[in-house]
Structure 1
Amino acid sequence: MGLLGFLKRGPNAEESIKNEGFEVSDCSMECLTCTAKFPASLSFKDDDNSALYGNTLPFGLHAIVPTNKCDWEHDATLKLKTIANAVAKWALNSKLEGLGESSDIKVSCSSLSSNDLECKEDYMNETRGDVLLLPFFVWVRNITLDNASGVLTRVVGDLIKFRADGLTEFPSVKYEAFPDVRVEVDRSKSYVFLCSHKTRDKKCGITAPIMKKEFEINLRDEGLYRDASDDREGGVRIAYVNHVGGHKFAANVIIYLRESGKNIWLARCRPNNVQPIIEECILKDGKVWPNYVRRVQKFTPIEW
């Protein structure tokens, strides 16, 4: 869809969102008691003049690659001999069917860690690592540069089938061709990703830590916050990701809800929006505000 098509969709955002199976919140998007703010030096005066809803394309799978970093090279997945690059190449050439609305695969580097470290600026991508596959809420662990494409094709193909079959228990999966690879279910209630890619745009590097802190505070009040060392089921994990497009719409907030299979992509968010986002989007299973939505998607929910 071209730019003209995107702009035409703006006035019909509420109707389109409802047609996607999402409810529109009748609560305020702003928390009046929130005192956190972005620095006054950040200017957003030119950010609110364009249509928001529908200005990012749908995708059928989001592959999250842990890197322990908060910032990345300008093109985060182009660095050769890294797991992120191997996954990005696989995604570009993949021809999988059954992913949902779109067969496109989004790949993101993230501050998530495979070894309980977070946000180490001196961390170097290794030739062996893990990948989180959303909206399946499944980890593929211990893949290598050499087997990433083969492993992900096999695993994602199986996940599509498992979901289509409505499995209520995740089967024990082992692949003789890849004996060191493990496939594990992630029991989190939700994931929330914030763009922190300051190399691409300084706004994201400044706004993301402020948003993350506000999410952590409010999620702790709900007993839902989970850090890297807390593997209790049913929590919410907050992490940074690299450039997701549309930095003029900072802060971008991408949410995955496990039980309903919903994906919510919000933009133009501020710290005083965090509590309403938790209450309406996460706790009330996907209620949204059309003026803040870039895209919503509803995937077939997983049962495992």
Structure 2
Amino acid sequence: MWSKEEKKQKREKKMYVQPQQRTYYLLLMFRLFARRNYSIHWRFKDVCPSPRYDTGCTYCQPEFPTNLAIDFDKNLNKTGAIPTKHVMVLTNPINQISELPSKTEFIPNSIPSEITKYRTMIQTDDQRVTISVIHLNNNRHQQILDQYNIKPGSSQQLVFLYPSMKIIRFDLSVSDQFVKKYLYSKPTAPVYNPFVQTKPSAPNNDLFDSIIVDESNFIEDELDKDLLVICGHAKRDLRCGIIAPQLESEFNQVLVRHNLQDTIYTGQVSHVGGHAYAGNVLYYPKDCQTSKDFIWYGRVFPKDVQGIVESTIINKEIIKDLFRGDIEAY
């Protein structure tokens, strides 16, 4: 039998945690907490699997001008300026991505043009907002516009907003309200430091406080499909304009083979940066929760499409040698 003192010592010994163990438990708790910040448990795969069949253009090689070669040398990790919020515009006056001017913000009466006015208010230390124009294929684009009764030449706008996973309809005349409601993030007050000179509050932020949001101006629905878009902004850089149609066709054929064509929107997107790494492919699954669920790939060729569909879209595996995000963030 143990004496009372011996029992007490045993209890205290069990309760004592070695410093190394304490560090391990804290690290484990941190990782569990961090994982809750994005809904998908992404895994990693080193290289893109080789194709298992030929659709007819699986092994096609796009021909680029000699002065516009693809950069195959640079490690793609952290080469993408992945936003924290991404607005995908479906109602731009020019929707065919290959016909867009070099800079979409120069298109009059467009969301990119209107939102540019508020750039300093939505780009902060805490968030990065990207405004892109997209065009969906397989007649999906017109079907969605018809569904929301968007007529040609109308001032009514339709956007996809990530990672909020919303389809939003509103009038161009209330773009300021759209920005305040969905994109504006008031800067957090800095921690007081007597050795650092404080900056005066930006007058733009005070101006934003005066904007009154009328909730009735906005119609929202939930996005219930994945999105995969390819940069095809030819007038910004010809490399993307050359390779995008080949990739778009290949993705559509492979998705049909897997019976996924009704679960994902596919199409093209305007400039996302990194044309030297064309083809640029963006995949946003319907379970997006944070920007960690925005998968940006570069140097994608038709031969990589089967591997992306099977590894990333189906199995939620990030392919390291194509990934333009920050691997260490996971």
State the TM-score, normalized to the length of structure 1. Answer: 0.70
* In structure 2, distance between residues paired with 1:63 and 1:74: 18
Question: In the alignment, is the contact (CA less than 8 A) between 1:191 and 1:236 conserved in 2?
Answer: yes
Within the candidate set 105, 108, 126, 2:129 is matched to 105
Q: Is 1:243 aligned to 2:271, yes or no? A: yes
- Residue 51 of structure 1 aligns to a residue in which SS? coil
Q: 1:148 to 1:274 in 2, by over 3 A?
A: same
Q: 1:247 to 1:202 in 2, by over 3 A?
A: same
Q: CA deviation at 1:263?
A: 1.1
Question: In the alignment, is the contact (CA less than 8 A) between 1:191 and 1:255 conserved in 2?
Answer: yes
Q: Is 1:150 aligned to 2:181, yes or no? A: no
Q: CA deviation at 1:157?
A: 7.1
> Structure 1: which 5+ residue stretches go unaligned?
1-18, 159-174, 227-234, 300-304
Q: 1:213 to 1:92 in 2, by over 3 A?
A: farther
Q: 1:95 to 1:205 in 2, by over 3 A?
A: closer
Q: 1:130 to 1:198 in 2, by over 3 A?
A: same
Deviations 1:244-302 (A, max 9, x none): 111110000011122253111100001011111011111112x1222211115899xxx
Within the candidate set 195, 202, 205, 2:238 is matched to 202
Residue 127 of structure 1 corresponds to 155
Residue 29 of structure 1 corresponds to 49
- Residue 105 of structure 2 aligns to a residue in which SS? coil
Q: CA deviation at 1:63?
A: 0.5
Residue 39 of structure 1 corresponds to 62
- Identify, as 1 or 2, the structure richer in helix: 2
Aligned length: 246
Q: 1:45 to 1:155 in 2, by over 3 A?
A: closer
* In structure 2, distance between residues paired with 1:249 and 1:25: 20
Within the candidate set 303, 315, 322, 1:292 is matched to 322
Question: In the alignment, is the contact (CA less than 8 A) between 1:96 and 1:157 conserved in 2?
Answer: no
Q: 1:82 to 1:297 in 2, by over 3 A?
A: farther
Residue 218 of structure 2 corresponds to 181
Q: CA deviation at 1:218?
A: 1.1
* In structure 1, distance between residues paired with 2:270 and 2:112: 11
Residue 209 of structure 2 corresponds to none
* In structure 2, distance between residues paired with 1:282 and 1:191: 10
Q: CA deviation at 1:124?
A: 8.2
* In structure 2, distance between residues paired with 1:136 and 1:117: 19
Counterpart of 1:38 in structure 2: which amino acid? Q
CA-atom RMSD in angstroms: 3.3
* In structure 1, distance between residues paired with 2:50 and 2:154: 41
State the TM-score, normalized to the length of structure 2. Answer: 0.65
Within the candidate set 280, 283, 298, 1:255 is matched to 283
Q: 1:28 to 1:70 in 2, by over 3 A?
A: closer
* In structure 2, distance between residues paired with 1:240 and 1:219: 16
Q: 1:278 to 1:70 in 2, by over 3 A?
A: same
Within the candidate set 301, 309, 318, 1:270 is matched to 301
Q: CA deviation at 1:95?
A: 6.5
Identity of aligned residues (%): 20
Residue 69 of structure 1 corresponds to 96
Counterpart of 2:43 in structure 1: which amino acid? E
Q: 1:41 to 1:58 in 2, by over 3 A?
A: closer
* In structure 2, distance between residues paired with 1:111 and 1:297: 29
Residue 74 of structure 2 corresponds to 50
Bigger CA radius of gyration: 2
Question: In the alignment, is the contact (CA less than 8 A) between 1:63 and 1:134 conserved in 2?
Answer: yes
Deviations 1:143-200 (A, max 9, x none): 31x2112123224579xxxxxxxxxxxxxxxx98253420111111x11110001111
* In structure 2, distance between residues paired with 1:155 and 1:207: 33
Question: In the alignment, is the contact (CA less than 8 A) between 1:91 and 1:106 conserved in 2?
Answer: no
Residue 60 of structure 1 corresponds to 84
Q: CA deviation at 1:110?
A: 1.1
- Residue 197 of structure 1 aligns to a residue in which SS? coil
